[in-house]
Amino acid sequence: MALWLDPRRRWHDAALVVALGSFATLMGLEWRQPLIRLRTVLLVAALLLGMAVAAPPRESQDVWAYAMYGRIQAVHHANPYEEEPSRFRSDPYLGRVFPAWRGRPALYGPLFTGLTAVVVETAGASPTSVRLAFQLLALFALLGCLPLVAARTGDARAVMFLAWNPLITVDVVNGAHNDMLVGLFILAALLLVERRRHALAGLILAAAVTVKAPALLPAGALALWAWRSHGWRRGAALGLIAGGGGLLGYLAAGKAALKSVSGASHLVSPYSIWSLPRMLHLVSSGSPSQGLPPVNQLLLTIAVPCAVGIGLFLAVAQLRRPTPVLAVAGAAVGYALAATYVVPWYFTWALPALALEWRRPMAWVAEIAAATLLMAYLTTGSAFQPHGVVSLGDRQATLVFLVWECLAILALIVASARGLSGRGLGLGPLERAPSESAPMKPSAGSPIRPE
């Protein structure tokens, strides 16, 4: 229902809350007593995902920025890393782009930026066709995840964790976000590493990095896990292929690509923990202003290293596990919580991998964080604005969420530190860990079997 209601109306928010609550309740019931079979999961998923691509995007208008970057290349024959959308005032798509992005060059990696041109060329001039093409791209990425999860876990509930998830259906597929591609690439690379195909995994991770640069962090976590579990040579090869391949992709796109993508670290969303000091100042001052001042430059300088450090710490705390799932997901979730720019769909980087371990607390930390973040954006009307100023609809609600986010990060760090205190750092010997990863066998009573 949330897909067909106006997001500016409270009925939309209420429908989304009901959908999220129903999903959590259903997963809880299935956790205790699995009853739903894979056939049912797939049939319901087909209905939900069909509705997702049939409706125009509800939560985000990023799809029109994607389309504009593609048109800059395919129609205007210019470089989207050098030319902002606002330079093409006669383009009929410019008015559809969210104002904050009209004056900024492309912020995505060269693989996805190039792909936008292909999509625009293929879809034609119709805005509906272009929108649908990008939604289908997100849908196909999700559909690529489902058989991988089913084969690895033998559990229909793991497939349900992705396919029935309102965050995925409403926020990612309907919103046509490219984060689903990153999640697919990370999941595929993780499964390849379990099968000791490190070179191919490195190439896939390089593709993820050239969609979104922060994918380098879970790639590093996977390389560390391979270093410990399969030997330092394999881990180093994986890291070098992923990092080197990603760097070559950005270099091939030119210096403008590196400059534009690296400049994204200066964007600060209202629900980033780095907005907390200025939010506290605004609330305490009682200023009638509806905007926030720019973030202190010192905070911006340390923000990205801190976010990377938190992600790596959460990953290292999981390196002794027999599978790399939680190490990779810890890196992605830690960064998604602590980055300067925080949006709900960033957790999609980790959710496909976490579907393999959907009972773990980290899977539900990611789910709850993304759901809370989504509802906070919708209920307060906060959105990123250009020139370093963030408009806020409800300061008190924003402050409450920021405090909650800080506590969630602290809880993850404390839990990881307690685990490390009993196990050590987890890098272990350079040759091979005592336990090796292997694909999970279907659990007893799993409803994955066909009827």
Residues 6 or more apart in contact with residue 252 via CB below 8 angstroms: 110
Span 1-49, pLDDT tens digits: 545 455 555 566 788 888 999 999 999 999 999 999 999 999 999 999 9
Continuous segment of H or E residues that includes residue 52? helix 38-54
pLDDT in tens, 72-92: 999 999 999 999 999 999 999
Sign, Cα dihedral of 365, 366, 369, 372? negative
H helices of 154-293, where? 156-163, 166, 179-194, 198-209, 216-230, 232-253, 255-262, 276-285
The DSSP element (H or E) to which 391 belongs, if any, is: strand 390-391
pLDDT tens sequence for the chain (451 residues): 545 455 555 566 788 888 999 999 999 999 999 999 999 999 999 999 999 999 888 778 899 999 999 999 999 999 999 999 999 999 999 999 988 899 999 999 999 999 999 999 999 889 999 999 999 999 999 999 999 999 999 999 999 999 999 999 999 999 999 999 999 999 999 999 999 999 999 999 999 999 999 999 999 999 999 999 999 999 999 999 999 999 999 999 999 999 988 888 788 887 888 888 877 776 666 554 445 556 667 777 888 899 999 999 999 999 999 999 999 999 999 999 999 888 999 999 999 999 999 999 999 999 999 998 888 777 665 443 333 334 444 566 677 778 888 888 888 888 888 776 665 544 443 334 433 334 444 444 344 433 3
Torsion sign across C-alpha atoms 82, 84, 90, 95: positive
Quote the CA–CA distance of 280 and 159 in Å, as a whole number: 41
Q: Which tokens is 444 given?
A: 């007893």
Cα angle 106, 221, 317; round to 5: 130
Interval 230-280: pLDDT, tens = 999 999 999 999 999 999 999 999 999 999 888 887 888 878 888 888 777
